[in-house]
Structure 1
């Protein structure tokens, strides 16, 4: 009996666990706490954190590569959807099916704010190069500044898959922390008078405009930058089926079932790339710091361009809406609405902020296409 118990013990994972794996399991539990207790992006953070926990359980081999006719691990096979760039475009399809581009169509000038907020991507890219990262890795780190998780996952999966776990966690962590990070930056860069600025109600957008818009954007953007086709194409297709009004079952599926299925698999497999040997490095600290800088610079550049538009419009555009140019939809727009309402209870900026917010989604996908084409 004693020998049986001994054999059982030495065959268990607890007998071979090391300190790095213990640290990673603790980190995974912290992320689970933040997702469940603090409600920080729970739909994504729970699967990511649990995938992290599973991959660091000794002996489980869930990410085992198949060799010599032996089967691979469960999460290894599920991960192939990221390996071949399938899951992120599908997420974009679902996002498109739930996005209203009306505010952007009604006020097309706000696309400039979405473009300005992408400056953080290229700032972090240059910073990564200076810190010694190779071009593909630097591009993957830079895309964190777009505050767009699926885009970060897609680009990193294509260019630097070894960094996927770290970059995905950084991207989604900063997306979750939008309500904490952005308000101090907005208030530091704007005056009370600017924050109190009320904007005129947007003009009504016709159904025809909403149907034509995704077609024009797809043709123009993909024609100009073919490497953006997977993300832009799926985003605009999702939006087209929504605005067409003739396929409600497809829209309902994309907005609910498909979105949640892909989110579960995507989260688990992204977390499964955060094994101890990959994650617990100085490189991870550098990526985390660069990601925060990228996101902050994106917010700053959006607000500063908003201030330029405030001056050029003779005070008709509230510069805060530039902060929504990062593509954390719709959280960044909600932050602008809250800060504006705190300054002026009669202010309603949500729909105005949604213009640069959805423009930021397009902008981050285009930036990813540019980086993908270069590297």
Structure 2
């Protein structure tokens, strides 16, 4: 065992502690943390044990990560549990989900400046979407050698949403802006909910064909939910299926953090750039909401712009908590879900564009 292995085992224990003690994304951090411990136990010469050894059990599980199989299955489950009602009731809030993607493209430029190749820069930039499955999918296509570092960075920042976002939100807004109350969303008909996944799929994939597998599975899962005739399939997708895939994905990604391949100079840069990307994405959404207010008669609370990153539903919950700390009777959760689910689509479309251009 090297010092690097020991450090990664300690990091794995820290992840498990954060999951259990602080309740930071336990469904993600606990499997990743234990996987990191497993992946850094020194293997025996001649025995295929790690994710990087051909023929090992872990390598077969990790195949779902390296070949981009797990992320679309995750998106199927997300689609089956996502309610697009708030977004459909106030379509202009979709723009906030798009604005938050600025973190992806600015970080891509920063990664190029620090000497990463265009493909590597795209894999690093997508971390700003705060979407682990999308990050894994794009990294597996553009820069498989960075897969472990980008995946761990993305999931780490997803878990730290309640820590990272509130200071940025308060810094960029005034007290009066945080006190803005928004009108209740309009009712959305069942027909609109059924037509949206079909129309949304056609529009987004014609814009970014590279996002077809992610967006296709997302909208397919949502159609299962909204159709009203496939509730059994929708229930399976949002419970048993997504839970099973999350276990395998989190554990195998954690096991890929073998110190010999993970603790590198590039990994440290990736974590730093990923943090910058996430902060820029949060700030971009809030600032764009303030810009929108310059042209709107009925103002929106700029806090909801922070929910444009696709950490569903944690970013929306953070918006609610920050708003209620100023006014306990201000309920922004449903409004924040609109840019939140739009951010999921935005990051998937951004990944499709980056794959098309850089692949």
TM-score range, shorter chain: over 0.9
Pick aligned residue for 1:152 from 124, 135, 140: 135
Structural RMSD (CA) = 1.1
- Where does residue 40 of structure 2 map in the other structure? 56
Task: Identify the residue that residue 31 of structure 1 maps to in structure 2.
Answer: 15
Counterpart position of 1:110? 93
Show structure 2 runs of 5+ residues with no match: none
Match of 1:42 among 1, 26, 32: 26
Deviation string, structure 1 residues 109-166 (Cα, Å, up to 9, x no partner):
0111000000000011111000111111110110010011110111111111111111
Go from structure 1 to structure 2 and tell me whether the alpha carbon gap of 1:64 and 1:303 turns closer, same or farther (over 3 Å shift): closer
Give the 3-state SS of the residue equivalent to 1:65 in structure 2.
coil
Counterpart residue number, 1:232: 215
Where in structure 1 do 4 or more consecutive aligned residues deviate above 3 Å? none
Return the offset for 1:19. 2.0
Provide, for residues 354-375 of structure 1, a one-character-per-residue CA deviation record: whole Å limited to 9, x for no partner. 1111000000000000011112
Q: CA deviation at 1:315?
A: 5.2
CA distance in 2, matches of 1:50, 1:158: 26
Distance in 2 (CA, whole Å) between partners of 1:274 and 1:342 is: 38
Q: Is 1:197–1:315's contact at 8 Å kept on the other side of the alignment? A: no
**SS state at 2:294 partner:** helix
Given candidates 125, 132, 148, the residue that maps to 1:142 is 125
Counterpart Cα distance in 2 of 1:133 and 1:82: 22
Structure ID, larger Rg: 1
1:106-255 equivalences in 2 (<5 Å): 106-255=89-238
Residue ranges of structure 1 left out of the alignment (5+ in a row): 1-16, 67-71
Q: Which residue of 1 aligns with 2:246?
A: 263
Alpha carbons of structure 1 residues 315 and 207: separation in structure 2 relative to 1, 3 Å:
closer
**C-alpha distance in 2 between matches for 1:332 and 1:89:** 22
Report the Cα distance in structure 2 between the residues aligned to 1:165 and 1:35, rounded to whole angstroms. Answer: 20
Q: Distance in 1 between matches of 2:293 and 2:302?
A: 6
Q: 1:289-368, aligned counterparts within 5 Å?
A: 289-314=272-297, 316-368=299-351
Q: How big is the shift at 1:311?
A: 2.2
Q: What secondary structure is seen at the aligned counterpart in 2 of 1:37?
A: helix
Match of 2:259 in 1: 276
On the 8 A contact 1:94/1:254 being kept in 2, the answer is: yes
- The number of aligned residues is 354
Q: Give the 3-state SS of the residue equivalent to 1:312 in structure 2.
A: coil
Q: After superposition, what is the alpha-carbon deviation per residue over 1:316-338, rounded to whole angstroms, capped at 9, x for unaligned?
A: 21111111101111111111111
- Please give the alpha-carbon distance, in whole angstroms, between the structure 1 residues aligned to 2:276 and 2:52: 35
C-alpha separation in 2, matches of 1:27 and 1:186: 29
SS in 1 for 2:115: coil
Counterpart Cα distance in 2 of 1:247 and 1:340: 37
Distance, in Å, in 1 between the alignment partners of 2:243 and 2:196 is 27
What residue number does 1:21 align with? 5
Partner SS, residue 62 of structure 1 = coil
Structure 1 residue 268: Cα displacement: 1.3
One of 79, 82, 90 as aligned partner of 2:65: 82
Cα deviation, residue 275, structure 1: 0.9
